[in-house]
Structure formats: C-alpha cells, structure tokens
Amino acid sequence: MLPLGKQVILLDGGFGSELERLGLGEAVPEELNLTHPEAVRAIHKAYAEAGADIITANSFGLNAVKYRGSYALADLARAAVENARAAGKPVFFDVGPTGALLAPVGTLTFDEAYSAFAEVADLTRDMVDGYIVETFSDLYELKACVLALKEHTDRPVFATATFDGSGRTLTGSTPEIVAELLEGLGVEALGVNCSLGPKEFAPIVRRLLAATELPVIVQPNRGLPRLVGGKTVYDLSEDEFAAWTEQFVAMGVSVIGGCCGTTPDFIRRISSCKGRAVPVRSAQKGTIVTSATKLVAIENVKICGERMNPTGKKALKEALAAENYDYLVSEALRQEEAGADLLDLNVGIPKIDEPAVMRRAVRAVQEYCDLPLQIDSSDAAAIEAGVRQYNGVPLINSVNGEEEVMARVFPIAKKYGAVVLGLTMDSRGVPRTAQERFAIAQRIVRRAEEYGIPRRKVMIDTLVLTASAEQALVSETVRALSMVRTLGVKTALGVSNVSFGLPNRPLLNKTFLAMAMTSGLNMPILNPLDGEMTGAVRAYNVLANVDEGAAEYIEAYRDFTPAAQTTAAVRREGTTPAADLYECVKRGLKGDARALTDAELAQRPPLAVVNDILVKALEEVGALYEQGKLFLPQLIASAEAAKEAFAVVGSRLEKKEGGRGKVVLATVKGDVHDIGKNIVKVVTESYGFEVVDLGKDTPPERIVEAALRIQPLAVGLSALMTTTVRSMEETIAALRSAGVPAKIFVGGAVLNEETAKAIGADYYTANALEFVRTLERLSE
C-alpha cells in the first residue's frame, strides 16, 4: 500500500522524450508496447531504478476515440501493463484525453466520451493498481473519464489537468473549479501536469492546495518548450527542477514527478523528497457550485433564478411538452443578464420522460449559459440524469426530512459531489414552529453526513408559507433561518410564495426578502427579471457592508432616474427612438418594435400592419442591401426588429391569416459552422415564416424525421467545405428516398448553381435575402 497523503510519493517522468532519445519518436507510442516491448520496459525500468514509487503504463492514447491504429485496444492495453509490471513497482494505467473536442465546439458527446473511457476501465481493471488520468484540458471530458473509471473499477484514480499561463484550462476552468469537481467525484489525488514548467505552475499549485484537502499531484514539464531547428528543446536543469520540486513539497504537494522533457535523471534527482512526511492542510471551503467556467460560493446573498420552472407558467409548460429547448435557453440568458448567480432548472410536467427531458435541457442550457444550475425535480431519476450530464458541480433541489427521499437522493449527491438542498418538512408536512423545522434540518444534515456528504455541501430551505393563509408562521420561517445557520449550513427560500393571494405582491415580496436576508438567508430563489427584488439584494449588500464602497450598487444605478427605469434597458446609447414602426424596422431598432407594433395595431388591422408596414420596410431594406447602400449587420438588425413585430402581430392574426409556412433549416452532419445558417434563419423569420432550426452537425435521419413530421415548405441545408458538401448530398438523397415533398435549398461557401444541381438540390441561394425571396415565390 502506498502511503498516499501521509508521505511524499514519487511518480515517473516524461515518456515521449525518452522514446525520442531511443530513436522511436516517430512511432505511435502505444504500439511500441507490442512492437518494441524491450524499449518500453527499459524506460520503465530506468524510472523504477531512479526511485519512482509508481510506474505509469505507456497507454496515454489508448481509447477508442483517439487510437486509430490496426492493433486491438485490448492487446495494446495488456502489453502496456505487462511492460510496466516488469519494473517491479505498482502500475497505474495512464488515461489521456480522447483528443476530440466535446460538442458544441466539437462533435463528440459526453456519453460517447464516457463510453470510450468505460471501455478502457473494463479492459484493464483486473490488471492494474490504479489510474492516472492526465493532461485533460476540458472539465467535461475529465468528468466523463473519472466517472467512467469510478463506475467501472474500484482502483484509485489520480487525476491531473493542464492549465495555461492564464491559470485556466483550455476550456476556461480554474484550478478551484477543477479541484471542486474532482474532489466531488471521489478521486484519490488531484493535480496538475504538462503544459508549463514548474515556475509557471507555482501559482496554480498554490491555488490547488488551497482548494482541496486531497493529496495534490504536480508533474511539470522541464520548463517551457522552445523550438530550435524544428526540434522541441527544454532548458531547465536538473538542479532547477529539483529546487522547484522541493518548494512544491514544502508547500504541501505530496505526489511529485515530471512530464515532457524530464528523464530518469530528473526523477532520481528529486527522489530525495520521497517518503517525507506531508503536512496536514485544511482547505477553508464553503458551499460551492460551479459551471465549467464559473464558481459561485454561496455566501452573503446569491440569487437563484426561478424562471426555468413550469409551475404556473403556461408558455414554459408548452415549450417543454414540445421539447422546445430554445425557450429554456432564452429564459436562462435573460436571467443571467438580469444578475442571477445561479439558475433553477425544473422540467417536471405530466406525461413526459422527465429524465430524458432533463438531460437534454441541461445540455441545451449549459451550451449557452455560464451560470451554475440547480437541478430541481421530485423524481430521483430525473435528478441523476441532470446531475450526470451537467458540466460542473450543481445544486440538487431537493430532499426533505423523509427517510425514503433522503435514501433516494443522497447517494446521487454523494456520487457526483453535488450540493443538496434540504427542505424542512417531512411526511407530516411543514411543521408550524421554527423549532420543529430546525429539528428536521438537523436530521437532514446528520443523515447527509452519514452518506459521506460534508456539511458544507448541504443547504437548508426553511420553507415560506403564504401570509394570506398562515400569517403567524411567516416569522417562524425567518426565525428558523437563523437557527439553521447555527448548524454551519447555508440557507435558501422561495421568497415570492409569501405574497400569494394578497394585493401588491411585489411590496410584500421585497419586504419579506429584506427580513429574511437580515436573518441569514443566503440564497433567495426569485425572479431576477423583477428589478425590485434584485435591487433589494443589491441594497442589502450595501447596508450589510458586503458590497465594498457600494461599488456594484453604484455601477448598477449610476444612471438611475425614476423615469429612466422602463426605457433605459432597451435602447443603445446615442440612438434616437424610431418615429414609427416602418422606421423602426428600417433602422433595426429591435427594442422599440413591440411598443410601436402595439401602437399600429390600435389603428389598423393586423394584416395591414404586415402588408403595409413590415413587408414594405423589409423590401426597402432588402433593396438597399442589394445596392450596397446598407450592409449585413443592418440587414440583420432590421430582420430582428421585424421579427419582434411579427411576434406581436402574430398573436392578433386569425389562424387562417397567420403564418406564411414552415421551413426546416440545418447545418449538415460533420459541419460545425453555423453562422450562415443562423443569418438565413433570422432573415427568414423576419419575413413571417416559421423556422424550425435543427442546429449544426445534424445527421440526415434527424433532418428526414423533422421534414416528415413538420411538412415544411422547404428544407434549407448549409455546408461550409467540400468535405461537408458530400454530407449534404447524402442528406438530400435521404430526403428524396423518404419521399419528402419539400423543396430543398442549399447554401454555403463552396456551393454554386452547378454543385447544387449535381448533388440533387432544387435551389441554390447565395445569401439570406435570395433564400427568402425564392421562398416567397414558392409560397405564393
């Protein structure tokens, strides 16, 4: 057994650079396990002799996504472990990233990444002593990997990420976020490797040590690489490397080794640190939730946005029933913009597959929104689906004092390292007194700890009852907050419930919020679009001496005048308002469109607004664009203004008058460039067509399925490069053979009339305006 966390453990050093020295630098390293086992063994042996406690198998690129050679993964993995075993030390299997970028930047899904790593675990779990997950630069892929290893093996997992000079991974995660995620997933040690030299690592190491009590691993490169005559050269001497390692150990690092450019001599040089006692560290961490790029510590007051919860929201219910995730994404972005710190996500409506919808909803929202999520459901399967798919450390909403509920949800929170919100109620309902609610909170905290969930990962909601029905109990809720805080946990409340059934609800909500914050409320769950409520939090932060020098408050209200409140948000600085709807569309002033459309509707029938104003304005804009007197940004701004107006008019039109037809748009499989398709979408919508956007990297079968279901007027396909034009051709063939009657439009940089004809499209249109004009001719 390794004295992990008690004494300093020595790992090995660079492998690629050693292979290069042996003249094997051009080979696929993992294949050398079979083709040149003696060379691989020699390197392992040299590291063992240098003092390494653990030998890392030569298996970095062995996963089905990355390895494309002709050998079987199983054979290479077995040979890698056998070669490492020959050195006579414990063997850890080296697990590197897939080399593929996860969607939406790349095309690999979380589940595909997970499967690739699960396969690695299945192939090796009976042969190895542990795993070193290393050189990961994407938090999401790191999560997939660690989860796969934890679910498919019982061996220890060490995990390291790479950071650049800015202190972030390539996908923007900080050391604190990486540490919080990995610790939550239950790795045995975590740290940093590759990418930088020890000097550049120092600040990152310091941050990691402060962010976790787990053993910290440091495997730097031999300084920053330099290119000399086409060769990569590392400059750091063994002495310098050793001096840095000494410093890291003194700081509290307990697993040391090297990465690119380091050799057995470097490992021998630092082996004097081996076995040294590791000082006990305490990381003063509070309650933390994160997205991939944003860490939110629940302290003072943090706002949880409540708008992604269908209770009492008809439009959201309809969107969820139709699996229209665009609606959710818009709600997320609006709340983020309005100042929410994290967002509640609840998709619970009758007759849907809640786990599946939750999974897709989480994916959709995190693609756009940086804020941490609160996964909210009464269905444990939906909670797990959401938490698993989530890229970060989420908050789970919720458990209560019922044993069965805790038994269902705590294991999920524990497994994924999520924070969990406990409601102070049980099978008997919400107790009347603060004392009774406190007792339930105590029970929840105690039970959580029995499941291995630390107190800092538990929050308590003392539950708001309506003042109209239970007036005397409002103060009990508030009193319970301060009692619960003595347990050392953070608190939450769904604030606006308090005013239900009474007039002027905002006034009650705001007053109650102030009372609760004073009594220790950390996380009001509220509507952040309500400026009065977010304003109350800002004001509290000034008065409670949290917002230092009132800086944030002043920033928010710098231009405040009572009258400015309603109009300030919508207009860009320096623009004068549009005189009428026609001018509004022509000038692309989206913010004015709704009010001006309402004004026009008061004077004329909806259809006249469309034909006499919107269509004419768009015609003029289109003509100016074609004459080169007005440019793409303005065309799009006009389109967006017209789209806003159409949304208002559309609600007034009779069914038979409404809608000019549907269009399905997609960027074809393999293609991730969607700016062109998106421009076509905006312009097409501005002409009153309904667009169903299937997104990018869309498989032919999804396009066929949508076209058959929606029966659109046209299917528009976009592709950027010659290689993806092939994918376009396959899609067209699939649409034709499925008997889709819609006309097929194609567009994209390398397309022209000739190619369009050759691949079987009906129309080629060079730009968005041409697309919509052709479409108009079709719809007439």
**Interface residues for another protein in 598-627 (CB under 8 A)?**
none
Q: How far apart are CA 551 and CA 533, in angstroms?
A: 19
- List phi, psi (to 5°) of 132: -115, 110
Minimum Å gap between C-beta 103 and another protein is 10
Cβ atoms of residues 622 and 655 within 8 Å = no
Q: Tell me the H-state helices in 341-433.
A: 354-368, 380-389, 403-416
**Interface residues for another protein in 730-749 (CB under 8 A)?**
749
Contacts with another protein, 188-217, as mask; x by CB under 8 A: -------x----------------------
Kindly state whether residue 227 participates in binding another protein, applying the rule CB under 8 A: yes
For another protein, the closer CB: 99 or 605 = 99
Alpha carbon separation from 660 to 404, 655, 712, 775 (Å, rounded): 53, 11, 11, 10
Q: How far apart are CA 478 and CA 485, in angstroms?
A: 11
Other CB atoms closer than 10 Å to residue 97's CB: what's the count? 27
**Interface residues for another protein in 691-730 (CB under 8 A)?**
720-724, 727
For another protein, the closer CB: 554 or 750 = 750
Q: How far apart are CA 395 and CA 410, in angstroms?
A: 12
Minimum Å gap between C-beta 549 and another protein is 25
Q: How far apart are CA 290 and CA 392, in angstroms?
A: 5
Among 127, 570, 672, 710, binds another protein (CB under 8 A): 672
Q: How far apart are CA 259 and CA 277, in angstroms?
A: 24
Minimum Å gap between C-beta 390 and another protein is 17
Task: Decide the pairing of beta strands 395-400 and 373-376.
Answer: parallel
Cβ atoms of residues 541 and 553 within 8 Å = yes
Minimum Å gap between C-beta 630 and another protein is 8
**Interface residues for another protein in 534-553 (CB under 8 A)?**
none
Among 126, 154, 229, 576, binds another protein (CB under 8 A): 229
Nearest CA-CA partner of 737 in 774, 697, 707? 707
Kindly state whether residue 329 participates in binding another protein, applying the rule CB under 8 A: yes
- List phi, psi (to 5°) of 646: -60, -35
For another protein, the closer CB: 171 or 374 = 171
Among 36, 594, 673, 702, binds another protein (CB under 8 A): 673
* Number of residues written out for the chain: 780
Among 272, 442, 634, 779, binds another protein (CB under 8 A): 634
Element (H, E) at 130: strand 130-136
Nearest CA-CA partner of 298 in 435, 457, 498? 457
Q: How far apart are CA 704 and CA 740, in angstroms?
A: 7
Site size with another protein, rule: CB under 8 A: 57
**Strand segments (E) across 462-546:** 490-494, 523-526
For another protein, the closer CB: 195 or 245 = 195
Contacts with another protein, 343-382, as mask; x by CB under 8 A: ------------------------xxx-------------
Among 56, 59, 124, 171, binds another protein (CB under 8 A): 171
Among 152, 269, 307, 669, binds another protein (CB under 8 A): 669
Among 396, 517, 639, 704, binds another protein (CB under 8 A): 639
Kindly state whether residue 688 participates in binding another protein, applying the rule CB under 8 A: no
Among 566, 628, 654, 655, binds another protein (CB under 8 A): 628
Kindly state whether residue 759 participates in binding another protein, applying the rule CB under 8 A: no
Minimum Å gap between C-beta 66 and another protein is 9
Among 311, 330, 468, 511, binds another protein (CB under 8 A): 330
Kindly state whether residue 99 participates in binding another protein, applying the rule CB under 8 A: yes
For another protein, the closer CB: 387 or 680 = 680
Cβ atoms of residues 192 and 204 within 8 Å = yes
Among 588, 606, 700, 712, binds another protein (CB under 8 A): 588
Kindly state whether residue 105 participates in binding another protein, applying the rule CB under 8 A: yes
Kindly state whether residue 560 participates in binding another protein, applying the rule CB under 8 A: no
Cβ atoms of residues 400 and 376 within 8 Å = no
Token pair belonging to 542: 């000034």
Cβ atoms of residues 55 and 12 within 8 Å = yes
| CB neighbour class for 112 (10 Å; exposed up to 12, middle 13-18, buried from 19) | middle
Among 137, 245, 377, 389, binds another protein (CB under 8 A): 137
**Interface residues for another protein in 386-405 (CB under 8 A)?**
none
Kindly state whether residue 68 participates in binding another protein, applying the rule CB under 8 A: no
Kindly state whether residue 670 participates in binding another protein, applying the rule CB under 8 A: yes
Kindly state whether residue 261 participates in binding another protein, applying the rule CB under 8 A: no
Amino acid residing at 345: L
Stretch that binds another protein, among 3-11, 222-230, 492-500, 557-565 (CB under 8 A): 222-230
Q: How far apart are CA 149 and CA 130, in angstroms?
A: 10
Alpha carbon separation from 622 to 360, 594, 597, 746, 763 (Å, rounded): 38, 22, 20, 20, 20
- List phi, psi (to 5°) of 290: -145, 155
Binding footprint of another protein on the chain (CB under 8 A): 97, 99-101, 104-107, 137, 164, 166, 170-172, 195, 227, 229-230, 326, 329-330, 333, 337, 367-369, 574-575, 588, 590, 628, 631-634, 636-637, 639-640, 669-673, 675, 678-679, 682, 720-724, 727, 749-750, 752
